[in-house]
Amino acid sequence: MTTTQPSPRAAERDITFNLLKNLTLREIRAEYKRTALGRVWSLINPLAQIAVYSLVFGLILRVAVAPGENSGIEFFPAWIGVGVIVWGFISGSISAGMGSLMSNAGLLTKVYFPRWVLVVSTVLAKASTFATELLVLLVIMLVIGGPAVLLYAALLIPLLVLTCVFALGIALLLSVASVYFRDLQHLWTILAQVWMYASGVMFSVDIVRGAQEAIEAENGVSLPLVTLFQLNPAERFLSAYRDVLYDFTVPGIDVWLQLIAWSAISLIIGSLVFRKLARNIVEEI
């Protein structure tokens, strides 16, 4: 019946790929199933967040941000919007990926397939929403900052890939770890809060620099606050996206190198731990 039989390895790879595609589609489809607004929710959520943050930090607390370098944009919601959406993806995909093994316990205990597929498909599903959000941001920036943003739009693709890899590594690590230690789920919610503030979603590095200088002036001690702030990979990602979407510039080579390094470290550690711990996961679930 069959004419040419592909090698078992290639066949297995095709099957895994196909499965990955279907699981990703499942995640995407199931998320807004039976809601009146459907996928529109994926835009309403960040918009509402942007509105609240703009109100609190822009209007009331008067957080100042420099106008966009090449774009000349002076619109706080646009600045905070980039942060909110990028951070939303990083934290959202990590926590969804982290829970993906436990929420698919039914699948894991009944069928065999490479277990990482679940985590990857969850992150990919989030990435597809993130990509739409980025497109919307791009259009907004185009309207308020002019067509120059289109010159840099292509940079969003490698940025998106790196962000996915980075989030995936952490999600892989946390997904198996949280099967063994259920507390991690709750711990993560707290950590994510702290991490969000540390990543400068609502304030820029200028404010941190200001604080560092103020401390030095008042107490004479020099704390390397800016360096510490920039050691945070999420902050690096946010600033790279802001370079492209708010300032209309190319992120510096140092930023790219840092992003690549962070993503590589995250993925390597994540997949090593995952490979070690995922073997007996079914019994613990």
Site for other proteins in 25-44 (CB under 8 A): 26, 29-30, 33-34
213 binds other proteins (CB under 8 A): no
What gap in Å lies between CA 238 and CA 235, rounded to an integer?
5
Nearer to other proteins, 12 or 254 (CB): 12
What does DSSP assign to residue 4? -
Task: State the alpha helices, DSSP H only, in the chain.
Answer: 8-31, 41-53, 76-103, 105-108, 116-145, 149-152, 156-180, 183-198, 205-219, 225-230, 233-245, 253-277, 281-284
21 binds other proteins (CB under 8 A): yes
284 binds other proteins (CB under 8 A): yes
CB of 14 to other proteins, least distance (A): 7
Nearer to other proteins, 19 or 192 (CB): 19
CB of 272 to other proteins, least distance (A): 18
CB of 39 to other proteins, least distance (A): 15
Q: Among candidates 100, 114, 160, 142, which has minimal Cα distance to 285?
A: 100
Long-range CB contact pairs, 128-134, < 8 A, 24+: 128/24, 128/28, 129/28, 129/42, 129/89, 130/85, 130/88, 130/89, 130/93, 130/160, 130/163, 131/160, 132/39, 132/42, 132/43, 133/42, 133/43, 133/46, 133/85, 133/88, 133/89, 134/85, 134/160, 134/245
Nearer to other proteins, 41 or 180 (CB): 180
x/- map, 77-116, other proteins, by CB under 8 A: -----------------------------xxxxxxxx---
CB of 185 to other proteins, least distance (A): 11
x/- map, 170-209, other proteins, by CB under 8 A: ----------xxxxx--x----------------------
62 binds other proteins (CB under 8 A): no
Q: In 10 A of CB 211, how many CB atoms?
A: 15
CB of 20 to other proteins, least distance (A): 9
What gap in Å lies between CA 267 and CA 83, rounded to an integer?
23
Nearer to other proteins, 102 or 225 (CB): 102
- The total number of residues shown for the chain amounts to 285
Residues whose CB falls within 8 Å of the CB of residue 114, separated by 6 or more in sequence, listed in order: 16
Nearer to other proteins, 16 or 232 (CB): 16
Say if CB 214 and CB 137 are below 8 A apart: no
Binding segment (CB under 8 A) for other proteins, from list 21-29, 66-74, 206-214, 267-275: 21-29
CB of 5 to other proteins, least distance (A): 12
CB of 284 to other proteins, least distance (A): 8
The residue ranges that bind other proteins (CB under 8 A) are 14-15, 18-19, 21-23, 26, 29-30, 33-34, 106-113, 180-184, 187, 279-280, 282-284
